[in-house]
Structure 1
Amino acid sequence: MKSVFEFAAKHIEPSLKRALILKLLSKNVNRTYIAKCTGVSPALITRYAKGERGLHDLTAIREIDEALKELSDKITNGEMCGSEVYIRIAELTMYVLSKKFACGIHYLATRDIDPLKCNICPSIFKISPQVETN
């Protein structure tokens, strides 16, 4: 079985970053500022914008979309940048995994889990109430 950490790094985190970057670009935030605040290179921002990276639309999950909108607002307003953004993306990655929102993606990517029986991510990623409501 592929490690859930490898899976998250390859599929979930990039998809969250892409959604965040698209929200920031739609607000006409400068790419240099986006790169500074997200820790993503300008070249990778272009790949996210073209849909070459972060292929899964996690914004279909209401609470993820709302959390990313809130994060993009804070970045746009200069309230969050750098390590704070990194931490928030990590929290959202763990939230997606803990709530089993990524099980279907995991199954399609690896075919080595049964989403109905697997309880690995909720066991590993127990999320505090602060993370859920941030």
Structure 2
Amino acid sequence: MTLRRETFLDQVKERGKYDNPQEADRAARVVLALLGAHLVGEIRAQLAARLPEDFALILLNPLQSAEPLSPERFVKATSAWIEGATAQTAAWDVSAVLSTVADAADDDLLSEILLQLPTGYDLLFGRPQPT
């Protein structure tokens, strides 16, 4: 089921403790653009189908990444794209967005997503996996 835009942003805003929906929107756009560069094929399409249309399009037309980023480098890249962000605020942004994405995906889809990502992303999604 596709999340409504307002519902998605409200969840990101609440989790990120943002002052306004614009801050949540900016974080969501950056994180989804970076995430889209790491997912391929059917998995990316399945996740996009569960997101509001404008965010789905960002996921499907990602920033290009030469290589998969480790979780630490993913957070660092996020901070580079968000004006005024620090490593700490970027980690907060990533967590707020990816935990909302994890809720939109079911457990099976999230497992498939995590298989496409370097080790450690389970923590960014707020879904620690047993090792």
TM over 0.5: no
Query: Taking structure 1 as the reference length, what is the TM-score of the superposition?
Result: 0.30
